[in-house]
Amino acid sequence: MEKRYLSTKEAEEYTGLCYKTLHKLPIKKQKIGNRWRWDRESIDKYFSFSEEDAKAELILHEVKERC
């Protein structure tokens, strides 16, 4: 049985993305103490979109951050 919540290092290895990129994505995460925990189901759901959907979602998220 796989863990549902990943440490930052585990999430980076799981996705192949760096910490800064992970924080930009609309993935469920929670800060416990001074450490982030990443929801594996949310990661899987996000990356199950087509590549075009993922790019559009990332662009939309970046635009929202600028406002």
The per-residue pLDDT for range 21-36, each reduced to its tens digit, is 999 999 999 999 999 9
Q: Is the pLDDT of residue 16 over 80?
A: yes
What number of other Cβ atoms are within 10 A of residue 54's Cβ? Answer: 14
Model pTM greater than 0.85?
no
- Number of structural domains (the chain) is 1
- Residue 26 lies in domain: 5-66
What pLDDT does residue 65 have? 72
**Alpha-carbon span 18 to 21, nearest angstrom:** 5
Q: Is the pLDDT of residue 50 over 60?
A: no
Q: Any idea of the CA torsion for 45, 42, 46, 32, to the nearest 10 degrees?
A: -170
Q: Which residues pair with 31 in a beta bridge?
A: 36
Beta carbons of 2 and 39 less than 8 angstroms apart: no
Calculate mean pLDDT across residues 51-56: 67
